[in-house]
Amino acid sequence: MPRYKITIEYDGRPYVGWQRQENGLSVQQAIEEAFRKFCGQQLVVHGAGRTDAGVHASGQVAHVILNKAWRTDVVRDAVNAHLRPHPIAILAAEVVPEEFDARFSASKRHYVYRIINRRSDLALDHGLAWLVRRKLDAAAMHEAAQLLVGRHDFSTFRDSECQANSPVRTLERLDVVREGERIDVHVSALSFLHRQVRSMVGSLEHVGSGKWTAQDLRAALEARDRARCGQVAPADGLYLSRVDYPPSDQL
């Protein structure tokens, strides 16, 4: 049976998160129902990352197994037609080898966290970015962020309900870039702990506002104590932006 890789964009605000749950509509459920209406098949959409409630995606990846072969443009367009009016879009569909798994074949995941740093309320970006009214020093945030890059025990930045077997992760990139009133935090790693990105961004905000120094951030990391986390940034500004995979001949 043919296996398809689909790339997905969504606004996470109406959903309880990516994963199907009993307490409300999830992104996964909405896409599965759209596939059922398209091809009459009750299937599971396997995602690369389980984003939380309110978290968005501009490059989520999933795979599905269909009972028959369809042209990739037909899969994309037909599922999108059945997704309307959900704020979810299939950006691309492609046939992949049967060994491909959206979650377990991934070699790197990339997130972007958007901060709008100004006094005025958000009109166009409400729910799509974190409004921080205090002046932030993005250069200081970037310099401090480099202390978190590498392989560390990230217990301080791990949610208390995280189910990962180990708090140790290797952070490959944590860059803070300012353009006008917008500050983007770019984060890359093979995998993340539950709410790790939002916890790191919330603590970096403390550095940017002058509440913490870079050494305070280092001390929080080395404490390996969730109580030492500065704060957890809201879901509004977080986007799963891309998922990388090895070449298909290596799967």
Nearest to 207 by CA among 147, 167, 150, 251: 147
CA of residue 128 relative to chain centroid, distance: 13
Cis peptide bond N-terminal to 234, omega within 30:
no
Q: What is the SS3 assignment for 181?
A: coil
Active site residue: 52, 101, 153, 216, which one?
Answer: 52
Count Cβ atoms within 10 A of the Cβ of residue 176 and give its class: 0-12 exposed, 13-18 middle, 19 or more buried: buried
- For residue 101, indicate whether it is catalytic: no
Residue 182, amino acid: R
Say how far apart CA 126 and CA 236 lie, in whole Å.
8
Q: Are strands 150-153 and 130-132 parallel, antiparallel or unpaired?
A: unpaired
C-alpha 163/C-alpha 234 separation (Å) is: 21
- Residue spans of alpha helices (H) in the chain: 27-39, 72-83, 138-145, 196-209, 214-223
CA 228-231-234 angle, to 5 degrees, is: 155
Catalytic residues: 52
